């Protein structure tokens, strides 16, 4: 089997890939309830102050702080309660010297009041309260615009919307949001040996259950895309050519698994003008890219590596996503050696500030992917990491 004449260094290949892609222009306006995980197409500017008025942060009594300054448990100050309101109501009374208004958490502050006394700090007797402790001006008050000010940019273009972001947007009155269109990602799985339905006799005869498609569809959805599955295609040169051409016409990006090396029946790489073919990554060295198409390995662990090291960055470029990787620092629990000249993807389990390397290896096995929740990268110019060394872990 023919070997690669040159392996493109990882960073060089990634740069070639990203330079070849442009951000998608199309924008969709969708309801907030459908926007989780979508990428903002514009900056979000608050149309209002939040909270929109000064409000109480506790259940208690709105009053003038200076009226409470002399208060002590052995010498309480008496104030007259002139009104009582619940959250969502506005008091018509004005707090004058020697008076207070009973209110609830979230209630709008009445005129004349500048602080709230927690109800536990007062003794109530009819329309009189005895203040047991002084409060400072502004104490227990959430001020207008304290959370968000009108005109403030609250979320930036390229932000990936989380549940808390949607809560903020709804609190500011938004019903919908403009996001980038999801890239259509064609997924093509090739191989005579693959079957899609369990068949015991076929498996005994040498067939293999196909699993790359469901993994790639999940990864594409996780990283901003809309998967389009073109099925499992046997190792037939003309059929592979036709399905790749169709997917290139219909999709923003195409992922083809199988046929990335130089075997007699590795056809996929022949139908794409590749910017690079064969890189220094391990596992997944035979990956190639060109014409918005990735020619990927057939082995699941290699496909998973190729997706994280290349494809997810391509999808992020297409939608303009920012901060799409979650990275933490961790202490390595044991030594991880590597060979100079390869950019190694090492699966780890991250927990309590430590990263434990997964010892099972092999491009064709899936269980190490399940047993890991992140990865570290050993670059080409390194021979690995020592036990106890601090490393950067990318979580997935």
Q: Where are the domains of the chain?
A: 10-25+182-319, 27-50+146-180, 55-142, 326-395
The pLDDT assigned to 70 comes to: 97
Could you tell me the two tokens for 283? Answer: 């596992």
Q: Exposure string (b/e) for 304-338, b if CB count within 10 Å is 16 or more?
A: bbbbbbbbbbbbbbbbbbeebeeeeebebeeebeb
CATH of 326-395 among 2.30.31.20, 2.60.40.10, 2.40.340.10, 3.60.15.10: 2.40.340.10
Could you tell me the two tokens for 390? Answer: 């601090």
Per-residue pLDDT of the chain (396 residues; tens, 9 = 90+): 456 778 999 999 999 999 999 999 999 999 999 999 999 999 999 999 999 999 999 999 999 999 999 999 999 999 999 999 999 999 999 999 999 999 999 999 999 999 999 999 999 999 999 999 999 999 999 999 999 999 999 999 999 999 999 999 999 999 999 999 999 999 999 998 898 888 898 888 999 999 999 999 999 999 999 999 999 999 999 999 999 999 999 999 999 999 777 665 667 788 899 999 999 999 999 999 999 999 999 999 999 999 999 999 999 999 999 999 999 999 999 999 999 999 999 999 999 999 999 998 888 899 999 999 999 999 999 999 999 999 999 999
Which ranges of the chain would DSSP assign to H, the alpha helix?
A: 10-20, 65-68, 163-171, 200-204, 212-222, 237-250, 300-306, 312-319, 367-370
C-alpha dihedral sign at 382, 388, 392, 396:
positive
At 296, phi and psi to the nearest 5?
-115, 170
Q: Which long-range contacts (CB under 8 A, 24 or more apart) does 93-102 make?
A: 95/62, 95/63, 95/64, 97/64, 97/67, 98/67, 99/63, 100/61, 100/62, 100/63, 100/129, 101/61, 101/62, 101/63, 102/60, 102/61
Instruction: Return the ∠ at Cα 36 (arms to 34 and 39), rounded to 5°.
Output: 105
CATH of 55-142 among 3.40.50.300, 2.170.190.11, 2.60.40.10, 2.40.10.230: 2.170.190.11
Task: For residues 189 and 292, give the distance between their C-alpha atoms in angstroms, rounded to a whole number.
Answer: 17
Total-model pTM: 0.90
Q: How many CB atoms lie within 10 A of CB 41?
A: 20
Instruction: DSSP letter for 293, please.
Output: E
The pLDDT assigned to 3 comes to: 62
In this structure, which topology does domain 10-25+182-319 adopt according to CATH? Molybdenum Cofactor Biosythetic Enzyme; Chain A (3.40.980)
Task: For residues 303 and 317, give the distance between their C-alpha atoms in angstroms, rounded to a whole number.
Answer: 20
- Give domain 27-50+146-180's CATH architecture: Alpha-Beta Complex (3.90)
Task: For residues 325 and 312, give the distance between their C-alpha atoms in angstroms, rounded to a whole number.
Answer: 10
């Amino acid at each position: 089997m023919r070997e690669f004449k040159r392996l493109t260094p990882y960073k060089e290949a990634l740069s070639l890939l990203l330079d070849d892609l442009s951000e998608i222009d199309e924008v969709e306006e969708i309801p907030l309830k459908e926007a989780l995980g979508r990428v903002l197409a514009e900056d979000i500017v608050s149309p209002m102050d939040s909270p929109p008025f000064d409000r109480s942060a506790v259940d208690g009594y709105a009053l003038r702080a200076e009226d409470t300054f002399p208060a002590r448990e052995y010498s309480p100050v008496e104030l007259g309660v002139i009104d009582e309101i619940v959250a969502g109501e506005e008091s018509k009374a004005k707090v004058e010297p020697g008076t207070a208004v009973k209110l609830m958490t979230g209630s709008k502050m009445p005129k004349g009041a500048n602080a709230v006394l927690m109800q536990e700090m007062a003794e109530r007797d009819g329309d009189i309260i005895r203040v047991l402790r002084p409060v400072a001006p502004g104490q227990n008050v959430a001020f207008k615009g304290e959370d968000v000010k009108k005109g403030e940019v609250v979320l930036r273009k390229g932000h990936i919307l989380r549940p808390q972001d949607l809560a903020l947007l709804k609190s500011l009155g938004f019903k919908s949001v403009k996001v980038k269109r999801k890239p259509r990602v064609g997924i093509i799985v090739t191989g005579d040996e693959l079957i899609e339905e369990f068949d015991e006799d076929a498996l005994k005869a040498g067939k293999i259950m196909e699993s790359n498609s469901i993994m790639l569809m999940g990864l594409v959805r996780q990283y901003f895309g809309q998967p389009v599955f073109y099925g499992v295609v046997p190792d037939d040169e003309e059929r592979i050519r036709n399905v790749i051409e169709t997917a290139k016409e219909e999709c923003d990006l195409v992922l083809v698994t199988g046929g990335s090396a130089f075997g007699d029946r590795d056809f996929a790489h022949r139908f794409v003008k590749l910017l690079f073919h064969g890189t220094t990554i391990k596992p997944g060295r035979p990956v190639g890219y060109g014409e918005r198409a990735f020619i990927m390995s057939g082995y699941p662990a290699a496909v998973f590596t190729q997706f994280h090291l290349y494809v997810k960055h391509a999808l992020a470029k297409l939608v303009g996503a920012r901060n799409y990787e979650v990275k933490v620092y961790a202490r390595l629990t044991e030594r991880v050696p590597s060979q100079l000249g390869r950019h190694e993807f090492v699966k780890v389990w991250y927990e309590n500030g430590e990263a434990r390397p997964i010892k099972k290896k092999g491009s064709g096995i899936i269980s190490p992917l399940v047993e890991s929740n992140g990865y570290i990268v050993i670059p080409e110019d390194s021979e690995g990491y020592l036990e106890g060394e601090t490393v950067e872990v990318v979580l997935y």
